C-alpha cells in the first residue's frame, strides 16, 4: 500500500526579471496503485512538481509524504538518493558509457546493501523481461534505438521495485507510431505491477489514455482534477476545456433556459452560478455537433454555411459559419457535403455545456487548422 | 529553509549547498589572486616612482611619457600597422583557403583541415627563426639567389617582413574561424535569394556578405589582438631592424640599461588597454552575429561552386601556401640543423653534413635544464588548469549559486592580458608581496596557469554543458549518493574532454615565450626561452636543431590529442 500526499507545495525560481512562482499551492493525493497525471502546457509547473517529489528541487513550502514518511516539509528534506522512487526522464538519461546490463544494475549496485552478483543478475534480467529487452544485456547503451532506450530507462526505474514511479514526459521523444504502442505497453505494465505512478505530460491524449486521475495545471496551480471522462465532459473552465479535447467556444449572455448565441438562444442546462444576465461560454465538442444538409426541425437547430469540409479518413472535419460565428463539427466520412453549401447544425442540449466566462480564450484560432492543410 | 537545515544538525552529512559555497569561495579567491592582483599591481606599478608598490610614491612620469613623447607615437603607429597588416594578410589567406575548402569542389578537401594544426605544431619562435634562415639579407635561401641573379634582396628587417612572417603564421587561425563561419551559414538563405531571382553576384552582395559581416569583423579583431600581443616576431625581427612595437619595447625597457619597471608597466597598460578594446569589440560583433541566427546546430550541406579547370589552380594556390607556411620552414630548419655554419646550400655544404648541433643541444647543460623545466611546467600547469577549471565549470553550469557568473568571468579575464604584460605584472606582484618566487619555476607556473585558465574554462564548460543534467539526476533517482554519481557517472563521461584539455594546455605551454621571457633565470629556463637565448649568442645552427626537436615532440603530442579528440566525438 503506497499513497503519495502533496500538500500546499510552493516553489519559486529566481530568473533574470525577478522571482517566478513555478509552483503555487499545489495539493493532491495519489492513492495506492493509481496512475496519476499532471497535465498542462509548458511552463505550467508540472515538471517542477514532479522534480520536487523526486527531491531534485527543494520546495519552499508544503509537505510531500510517501505513506507515513515525510519526504519534504516540516524542516525535513530527504535527498533524492534516499527516496524510494524510480524515475524516467524526458531525455531517458541512459548512461552512454555503460552497457544495457550496467545501466539497469546501477541502482542495485549503489544501494545500501547491494545484492549478490547472482541476485543482481536475476533482478536485472527480470526487469529487462518486464520491458521486453531480454537478451540485450551486453549491448552498449548508445547502440539502442529510441524506443529501446525508453524501455531501458523504464527497466532501470523499476529494478529496485520502488514504491513510487515518476515519469517525466517519457514518450515525447518518440515518433507518433511508436508513441502509440509504448503508451499501450506502459498502461498494461502499470496496471499489472500495481505501482503508484505520477506522470507528467502536455499531451492530453496520453493523459486520458493512461490515467486513473488527471490534474490540469495552469500557471503553477492545479485548476481541475478528476477522472479523465469527467474532465472531458465537465471542464471547469475554458482553459481546461481547450486543453483536454477540442472545443468551440461561444460567448453569450445567460437567459432563462439557455445562452444567447448564434443569432438565437442555445438551450442548455445551467448551473446555479449562471443566473440570467451573467456572461457565459458555451463549450461545444465538435463530435457532438450534428451537421445536416436539410433541417430536421429539432431544438437548438441553426442554419449556416459550410466553409470547410476536410476528409480525415474516419470523419469529415467541418467548419460551419452560423451568422458570422465559426463552429467546428465532425460529420460522417461518407456524408455528401459540399463547400459553401447551406447546412443545418444541431447542438443537442444535453451536450451543450455552459460555464462562467472568465475572459480566457484559446491563444490562436489557427490551432483549428493545424490538423489539415487541405 | 536553509537555516532550518543547519539548525537541525541531525545528519552527519554536510548539506551540499554549504560545501558548494566553501568550494566556490575558494575558487573565487584563487582566481582573484591570479587575475585581479596582477592587474592591480600593473596599474600601481605604472604610477609608482619607487621600485616597490608598498612604499608608494605617486608619479605620472611614465604615463606621460608613453602617451606624449615622439618615440611613443611612432611606437603606436608601428604597433597598429604591424598588427593591422598581419591581421589583414592572415585574414586574406585564411578566408581564401576557407572559401575554397568549404564552398568549392577543390580536390582533397578534408586534407586541408590539417592546416588548422600548423600553429600547434610550429611554435611562433620556430617559425620566425626559420624565416630568418629564408630571408636573411645575404645568405637566406630566397635572398641569395635573388641577389646573384637580379642584384637585389628582400629586407626581412622591415615592417613588411614582420607582417609577412606573422601573417603567414596566423593564417591557419583565420582559416579555422572563417571555415566555421562558412559552415554555420544556412545555404538555404542563399538558395532563397536565388529562388527570388537574384543572380550569383547579387546573392553574394545582398545576402552572403551581410550575413558573414559579423564573423569577418570578429575574426579580424581576434587576429589583430593576437598579432599585437605576439612577442616572437617583434623581438627577433623587429629589434635588430630597429622597428619597435609595444611588446618589444616592454622587453627592452627591462633589458636595456638602466631598466625601468615603471616604464615597462606603463607600456604594458597601454597594450592591455588596446587589447581589451579589441576584445570588447570582438564580443560585440559576435553577440550581434547570434542575432543573425545563422547557426542552428544543423549539419548543412552547402552547394559547392564547380571550379572546372580552375580546380587545379586553386589546389596549386593552397599547396603553395602550405609549402611556404610549413614545408619550406621545416626544410630549412632541418638543413640548418645539419651544418656547422649556416650558408646557402651547395655541394660542399651538403658533403659536410654533421650531427654536431644535435650533440651540442644534448650535452648543453642549459638546454637540458630547459627541456626538463618545460616538461615539469607543462605537467603542472596542465594539471592545475584542468582541476581548477573543472570545479569552476561545475559550479557555473550545475549550481544556482549567486555570483557564479563572476567566477566564469574571472577565469576568462586573462585572455585579454598579453603574455609579456602578464610577465611585467607578475614582476611587480612578487617584488611587492613577500613571497620570494621571482626567478624560480613557481612564478612561471603562476604565469602559465593564469594564461591558460581561459582555454581550460572553455574546454571544461563546453564538455559539461554537453553532459545532460538528467544523466546525473538519474543517478540520484537510482539511489546513488553524491560521490557515487561523481565517481561512476560524471568522471567517466568527462574524462575524454578533460584529457583533451590537459594535452592542449601541455602543448601550448611547451611553446610559451612571452609570459616566460621576463620571469626566468638560469635555473628556470624553458625551451622557447632557450631558443631565444641561443639566438642572442648567435648560435643559429643549434637553434635549428632544438627547433626540429621541439617540432617532433609537438607533432607526437598533437597526434595523440587528435586520437583522443576523435574518440570523444565518436562517444558523444
- List the one residue out of B195, B128, B259 whose CA is nearest residue B540: B128
Q: Which of B16, B473, B571 sits opposite A93 (nearest CB)?
A: B473
Asked, for residue B423, whether it belongs to a domain, the answer is yes
Asked, for residue B328, whether it belongs to a domain, the answer is no
User: Is the preceding omega at residue A356 within 30 degrees of 0, hence cis?
Assistant: no
Grid coordinates representing B33 are 589572486
d(CA A329, CA B171): 66
Both B394 and B315 in one domain: the answer is no
Both B453 and B558 in one domain: the answer is yes
Both B371 and B248 in one domain: the answer is no
Convert the pLDDT of each residue in A9-24 to its tens digit: 999 987 666 778 899 9
Say whether A5 sits in a helix, a strand or coil: strand
Both B137 and B88 in one domain: the answer is yes
DSSP-derived pairing of the beta strands A69-73 and A61-66: antiparallel
Asked, for residue B338, whether it belongs to a domain, the answer is no
Which of B474, B567, B571 is the best residue to mutate to test the A interface, defined by the most A CB atoms within 10 Å of its own CB? B474
For residue B296, what pLDDT band results from cuts at 50, 70 and 90? very low
pLDDT surpassing 80 at residue A2: yes
Cβ distance of A56 and B480 shorter than 8 Å: no
| pLDDT confidence of residue A351 | 92
| pLDDT confidence of residue A274 | 87
Both B237 and B110 in one domain: the answer is yes
d(CA B129, CA B405): 42
pLDDT surpassing 80 at residue A340: yes
* Tally of CB atoms within 10 A around B529: 23
Both B466 and B562 in one domain: the answer is yes
Instruction: Mark which residues 309-328 of B lie under 8 Å from A by CB.
Output: none
Asked, for residue B346, whether it belongs to a domain, the answer is no
Instruction: Mark which residues 282-311 of B lie under 8 Å from A by CB.
Output: none
Asked, for residue B337, whether it belongs to a domain, the answer is no
- List the one residue out of B522, B38, B539, B99 whose CA is nearest residue B268: B38
| pLDDT confidence of residue A154 | 95
Overall domain count for chain B = 2
**Residue B479 forms contact with A (CB below 8 Å):** yes
**Residue A95 forms contact with B (CB below 8 Å):** yes
Residue A168 main-chain phi, psi, to 5 deg? -105, 95
Both B152 and B223 in one domain: the answer is yes
Convert the pLDDT of each residue in B33-88 to its tens digit: 999 999 999 998 888 877 665 667 788 888 888 888 888 889 999 999 999 999 99
* Tally of CB atoms within 10 A around A87: 30
Compute the mean pLDDT over every residue in chain A, rounded to the nearest whole number: 91
| pLDDT confidence of residue A373 | 33
pLDDT surpassing 80 at residue B138: no
Local structure of residue A143 (DSSP, 8 states): G
| pLDDT confidence of residue B86 | 97
d(CA A311, CA A332): 10
d(CA B528, CA B513): 5
Chain A contacts of B490, Cβ < 8 Å? none
Q: Which of B5, B468, B488 sits opposite A77 (nearest CB)?
A: B5
pLDDT surpassing 60 at residue B30: yes
For A3, counting Cβ atoms within 10 Å of its Cβ (0-12 exposed, 13-18 middle, 19+ buried), the class is: middle
Question: Nearest 5 degrees, angle CA B161-CA B162-CA B163?
Answer: 90
| Share of residues in chain B with pLDDT > 70 (%) | 91
pLDDT surpassing 60 at residue B570: no
**Residue B468 forms contact with A (CB below 8 Å):** yes
d(CA B136, CA B155): 8
Convert the pLDDT of each residue in B380-404 to its tens digit: 999 999 999 988 998 888 887 888 8
d(CA A53, CA A9): 10
Residue A235 exposure: Cα atoms within 13 Å on the Cβ side: 27
pLDDT surpassing 90 at residue A74: no
DSSP-derived pairing of the beta strands A316-322 and A325-331: antiparallel
Which of A54, A60, A75 is the best residue to mutate to test the B interface, defined by the most B CB atoms within 10 Å of its own CB? A75
| pLDDT confidence of residue B301 | 61
| pLDDT confidence of residue B126 | 92
| pLDDT confidence of residue A364 | 55
Convert the pLDDT of each residue in B73-117 to its tens digit: 899 999 999 999 999 999 999 999 988 888 888 887 778 887 777
Radius of gyration of chain B (CA): 26
Cβ distance of A80 and B477 shorter than 8 Å: yes
**Residue B28 forms contact with A (CB below 8 Å):** no
Contact between A279 and A251 under an 8 Å Cβ cutoff? The reply is: yes
Give the full edge-to-edge strand order of the sheet including A76-77. A18-30, A4-15, A61-66, A69-73, A76-77
Which of A81, A104, A153 is the best residue to mutate to test the B interface, defined by the most B CB atoms within 10 Å of its own CB? A81
Domain that holds residue B430: 16-49+355-572
Cβ distance of A106 and B473 shorter than 8 Å: no
pLDDT surpassing 60 at residue B377: yes
| pLDDT confidence of residue B572 | 35
Both B122 and B226 in one domain: the answer is yes
DSSP-derived pairing of the beta strands A196-201 and A213-218: unpaired
Which is more confidently placed, A43 or B137? Answer: A43
Evaluate the CA torsion angle A239, A245, A251, A252 in order and state its sign: negative
Asked, for residue B334, whether it belongs to a domain, the answer is no
**What is the pLDDT averaged over residues B464-470?**
87
Contact between B329 and B131 under an 8 Å Cβ cutoff? The reply is: yes
Evaluate the CA torsion angle A104, A110, A112, A115 in order and state its sign: positive
Cβ distance of A97 and B480 shorter than 8 Å: no
| pLDDT confidence of residue A112 | 86
Cβ distance of B474 and A90 shorter than 8 Å: no
Asked, for residue B559, whether it belongs to a domain, the answer is yes
d(CA A90, CA A263): 48
**Residue A123 forms contact with B (CB below 8 Å):** no
Angstrom distances, CA of residue B488 to CA of A97, B463, B479, B485: 10, 17, 13, 6
Question: A160 vs chain B: nearest CA distance in angstroms?
Answer: 8
- List the one residue out of B319, B357, B328 whose CA is nearest residue B133: B328
| pLDDT confidence of residue B566 | 52
**What is the pLDDT averaged over residues B460-483?**
89
| pLDDT confidence of residue B497 | 84
pLDDT surpassing 90 at residue A230: yes
Which of B4, B6, B477, B492 is the best residue to mutate to test the A interface, defined by the most A CB atoms within 10 Å of its own CB? B477
Cβ distance of B4 and A90 shorter than 8 Å: no
Report the CATH number at residue B171: 1.10.3720.10
- List the one residue out of A284, A268, A289, A282 whose CA is nearest residue A344: A289
Question: B92 vs chain A: nearest CA distance in angstroms?
Answer: 42
| pLDDT confidence of residue B212 | 85
Convert the pLDDT of each residue in A114-137 to its tens digit: 999 999 999 999 999 999 999 999
Contact between B384 and B445 under an 8 Å Cβ cutoff? The reply is: yes
Chain A contacts of B478, Cβ < 8 Å? 81, 86, 106-107, 110, 156, 160
Cβ distance of B475 and A110 shorter than 8 Å: yes
| pLDDT confidence of residue B100 | 87
Angstrom distances, CA of residue B306 to CA of A366, B92, B314: 44, 21, 12
Give me the DSSP letters along B431-452. HHSS---TTSHHHHHHHHHHHH
| pLDDT confidence of residue B302 | 65
pLDDT surpassing 90 at residue B340: no
Torsion angle defined by CA atoms of residues B133, B137, B139 and B145, in that order, rounded to the nearest 10 degrees: 110
| pLDDT confidence of residue B402 | 80
Say whether A181 sits in a helix, a strand or coil: helix
- List the one residue out of A240, A273, A267 whose CA is nearest residue A255: A267
Asked, for residue B109, whether it belongs to a domain, the answer is yes
- List the one residue out of A53, A3, A2 whose CA is nearest residue A26: A53
Both B560 and B444 in one domain: the answer is yes
**Residue B474 forms contact with A (CB below 8 Å):** yes
Contact between A106 and A156 under an 8 Å Cβ cutoff? The reply is: yes
- All domains in chain A, ordered by first residue: 4-233 (3.40.50.300), 246-359 (2.40.50.100)
Angstrom distances, CA of residue A352 to CA of A317, A356, B135: 19, 13, 93
Which of B402, B466, B478 is the best residue to mutate to test the A interface, defined by the most A CB atoms within 10 Å of its own CB? B478
| pLDDT confidence of residue A130 | 93
d(CA A243, CA A239): 6
Extract the runs of DSSP E, i.e. beta strands, from A272-364: 279-284, 290-292, 301-311, 316-322, 325-331, 342-346, 353-356
Both B91 and B20 in one domain: the answer is no
Tell me what ipTM this predicted complex has. 0.82
Both B123 and B185 in one domain: the answer is yes
For residue B298, what pLDDT band results from cuts at 50, 70 and 90? very low
Convert the pLDDT of each residue in A275-328 to its tens digit: 899 999 999 999 999 999 999 988 999 999 999 999 898 899 999 999 989 999
What's the first-to-final CA gap in chain A, in angstroms? 52
Distance of CA A368 to the CA centre of its chain: 19
Alpha helices in B47-69 (DSSP H): 61-68
Q: Which of A56, A82, A160 sits opposite B473 (nearest CB)?
A: A56
Say whether A43 sits in a helix, a strand or coil: coil
Local structure of residue A141 (DSSP, 8 states): G
Cβ distance of B479 and A97 shorter than 8 Å: no
Give the full edge-to-edge strand order of the sheet including A221-226. A85-88, A164-168, A196-201, A35-39, A213-218, A221-226
Q: Which of A95, A142, A166 sits opposite B471 (nearest CB)?
A: A95
Cβ distance of A56 and B4 shorter than 8 Å: no
- The residue in chain B having the minimum alpha-carbon distance to the alpha carbon of residue A162 is B478
Choice among A191-205, A333-347, B143-157, B310-324 with the minimum mean pLDDT: B143-157
Both B444 and B562 in one domain: the answer is yes
**Residue A60 forms contact with B (CB below 8 Å):** yes
Beta bridge partners of A199: A37, A167
**What is the pLDDT averaged over residues B210-223?**
87
Amino acid at each position: 500500500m503506497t499513497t503519495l500526499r502533496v500538500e500546499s507545495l510552493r516553489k519559486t525560481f529566481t530568473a533574470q526579471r525577478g522571482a517566478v512562482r513555478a509552483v503555487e499551492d499545489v495539493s493532491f493525493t495519489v492513492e495506492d496503485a493509481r496512475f496519476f497525471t499532471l497535465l498542462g502546457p509548458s511552463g505550467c509547473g508540472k515538471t517542477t512538481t514532479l522534480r520536487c517529489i523526486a527531491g531534485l528541487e527543494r520546495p519552499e513550502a508544503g509537505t510531500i509524504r510517501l505513506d507515513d514518511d515525510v519526504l519534504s516539509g516540516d524542516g525535513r528534506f530527504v535527498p533524492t538518493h534516499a527516496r524510494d522512487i524510480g524515475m524516467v526522464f524526458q531525455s531517458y538519461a541512459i548512461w552512454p558509457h555503460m552497457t544495457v546490463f550496467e545501466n539497469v544494475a546501477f541502482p542495485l549496485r549503489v544501494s545500501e546493501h547491494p545484492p549478490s552478483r547472482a541476485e543482481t543478475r536475476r533482478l536485472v534480467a527480470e526487469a529487462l523481461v518486464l520491458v521486453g529487452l531480454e537478451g540485450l544485456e551486453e549491448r552498449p547503451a548508445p547502440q539502442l534505438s529510441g524506443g529501446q532506450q525508453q524501455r531501458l530507462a523504464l527497466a532501470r526505474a523499476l529494478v529496485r521495485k520502488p514504491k513510487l514511479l515518476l515519469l517525466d514526459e517519457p514518450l515525447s521523444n518518440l515518433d507518433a507510431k511508436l508513441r502509440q504502442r509504448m503508451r499501450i505497453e506502459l498502461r498494461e505494465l502499470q496496471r499489472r505491477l500495481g505501482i503508484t505512478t505520477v506522470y507528467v505530460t502536455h499531451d492530453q491524449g496520453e493523459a486520458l489514455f493512461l490515467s486513473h486521475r488527471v490534474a490540469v495545471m495552469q500557471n503553477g496551480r492545479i485548476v481541475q482534477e478528476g477522472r479523465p471522462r469527467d474532465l472531458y465532459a465537465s471542464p471547469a473552465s475554458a482553459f481546461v476545456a481547450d486543453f483536454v479535447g477540442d472545443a468551440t467556444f461561444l460567448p453569450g449572455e445567460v437567459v432563462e433556459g439557455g445562452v444567447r448565441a448564434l443569432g438565437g438562444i442555445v438551450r442548455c442546462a445551467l448551473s446555479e452560478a449562471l443566473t440570467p444576465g451573467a456572461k457565459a461560454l458555451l463549450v461545444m465538442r465538435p463530435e457532438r455537433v450534428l451537421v445536416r444538409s436539410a433541417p430536421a426541425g429539432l431544438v437548438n437547430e441553426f442554419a449556416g454555411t459550410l466553409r470547410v469540409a476536410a476528409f480525415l479518413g474516419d470523419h469529415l472535419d467541418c467548419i460551419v459559419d452560423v451568422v458570422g460565428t465559426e463552429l467546428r463539427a465532425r460529420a460522417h466520412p461518407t456524408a455528401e457535403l459540399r463547400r459553401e453549401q447551406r447546412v443545418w447544425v444541431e447542438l443537442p442540449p444535453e451536450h451543450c455545456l455552459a460555464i462562467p466566462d472568465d475572459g480566457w480564450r484559446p491563444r490562436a484560432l489557427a490551432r483549428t487548422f493545424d490538423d489539415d492543410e487541405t | 529553509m536553509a537555516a532550518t537545515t543547519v539548525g537541525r544538525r541531525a545528519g552527519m552529512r554536510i548539506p551540499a549547498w554549504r560545501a558548494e559555497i566553501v568550494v566556490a569561495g575558494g575558487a573565487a579567491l584563487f582566481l582573484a589572486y591570479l587575475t585581479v592582483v596582477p592587474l592591480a599591481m600593473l596599474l600601481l606599478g605604472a604610477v609608482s616612482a619607487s621600485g616597490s608598490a608598498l612604499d608608494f610614491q605617486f608619479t605620472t612620469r611614465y604615463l606621460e611619457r608613453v602617451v606624449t613623447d615622439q618615440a611613443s607615437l611612432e611606437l603606436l603607429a608601428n604597433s597598429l600597422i604591424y598588427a593591422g597588416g598581419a591581421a589583414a594578410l592572415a585574414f586574406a589567406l585564411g578566408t581564401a583557403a576557407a572559401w575554397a575548402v568549404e564552398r568549392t569542389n577543390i580536390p582533397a578537401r578534408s586534407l586541408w583541415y590539417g592546416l588548422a594544426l600548423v600553429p600547434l605544431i610550429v611554435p611562433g619562435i620556430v617559425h620566425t627563426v626559420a624565416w630568418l634562415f629564408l630571408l636573411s639579407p645575404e645568405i637566406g635561401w630566397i635572398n641569395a639567389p635573388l641577389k646573384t641573379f637580379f642584384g637585389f634582396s628582400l629586407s626581412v628587417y622591415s615592417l613588411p617582413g614582420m607582417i609577412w612572417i606573422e601573417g603567414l603564421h596566423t593564417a591557419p587561425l583565420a582559416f579555422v574561424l572563417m571555415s566555421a563561419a562558412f559552415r554555420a551559414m544556412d545555404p538555404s538563405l542563399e538558395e532563397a535569394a536565388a529562388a527570388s531571382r537574384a543572380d550569383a553576384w547579387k546573392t553574394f552582395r545582398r545576402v552572403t556578405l551581410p550575413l558573414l559581416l559579423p564573423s569577418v569583423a570578429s575574426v579580424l579583431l581576434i587576429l589583430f589582438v593576437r598579432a599585437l600581443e605576439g612577442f616572437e616576431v617583434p623581438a627577433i625581427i623587429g629589434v635588430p631592424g630597429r622597428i619597435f612595437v609595444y611588446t618589444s619595447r616592454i622587453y627592452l625597457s627591462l633589458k636595456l640599461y638602466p631598466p625601468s619597471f615603471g616604464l615597462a608597466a606603463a607600456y604594458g597598460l597601454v597594450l592591455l588597454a588596446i587589447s581589451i578594446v579589441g576584445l570588447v569589440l570582438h564580443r560585440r560583433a559576435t553577440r550581434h552575429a547570434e542575432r543573425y541566427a545563422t547557426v542552428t546546430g544543423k549539419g548543412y550541406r552547402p552547394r559547392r561552386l564547380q571550379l572546372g579547370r580552375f580546380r587545379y589552380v586553386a589546389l596549386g594556390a593552397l599547396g603553395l601556401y602550405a609549402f611556404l607556411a610549413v614545408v619550406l620552414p621545416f626544410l630549412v630548419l632541418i638543413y640548418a640543423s645539419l651544418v656547422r655554419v649556416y650558408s646557402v646550400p651547395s655541394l660542399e655544404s651538403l658533403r659536410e653534413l654533421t650531427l654536431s648541433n644535435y650533440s651540442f643541444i644534448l650535452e648543453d647543460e642549459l638546454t637540458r635544464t630547459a627541456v626538463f623545466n618545460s616538461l615539469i611546467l607543462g605537467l603542472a600547469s596542465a594539471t592545475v588548469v584542468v582541476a581548477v577549471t573543472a570545479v569552476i565549470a561545475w559550479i557555473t553550469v550545475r549550481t544556482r549559486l549567486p555570483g557564479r557568473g563572476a567566477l566564469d568571468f574571472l577565469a576568462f579575464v586573462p585572455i585579454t592580458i598579453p603574455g609579456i604584460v602578464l610577465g611585467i605584472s607578475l614582476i611587480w606582484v612578487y617584488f611587492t608581496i613577500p613571497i620570494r618566487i621571482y626567478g624560480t619555476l613557481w612564478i612561471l607556473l603562476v604565469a602559465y596557469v593564469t594564461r591558460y585558465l581561459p582555454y581550460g574554462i572553455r574546454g571544461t564548460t563546453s564538455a559539461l554543458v554537453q553532459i545532460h543534467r538528467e544523466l546525473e539526476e538519474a543517478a540520484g533517482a537510482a539511489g546513488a549518493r553524491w560521490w557515487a554519481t561523481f565517481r561512476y557517472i560524471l568522471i567517466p563521461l568527462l574524462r575524454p574532454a578533460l584529457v583533451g584539455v590537459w594535452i592542449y594546455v601541455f602543448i601550448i605551454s611547451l611553446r610559451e615565450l612571452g609570459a616566460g621571457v621576463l620571469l626566468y633565470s638560469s635555473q628556470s629556463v624553458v625551451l622557447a626561452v632557450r631558443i631565444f637565448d641561443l639566438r642572442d649568442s648567435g648560435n643559429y645552427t643549434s637553434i635549428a636543431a632544438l627547433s626540429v626537436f621541439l617540432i617532433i615532440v609537438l607533432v607526437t603530442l598533437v597526434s595523440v590529442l587528435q586520437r583522443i579528440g576523435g574518440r570523444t566525438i565518436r562517444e558523444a
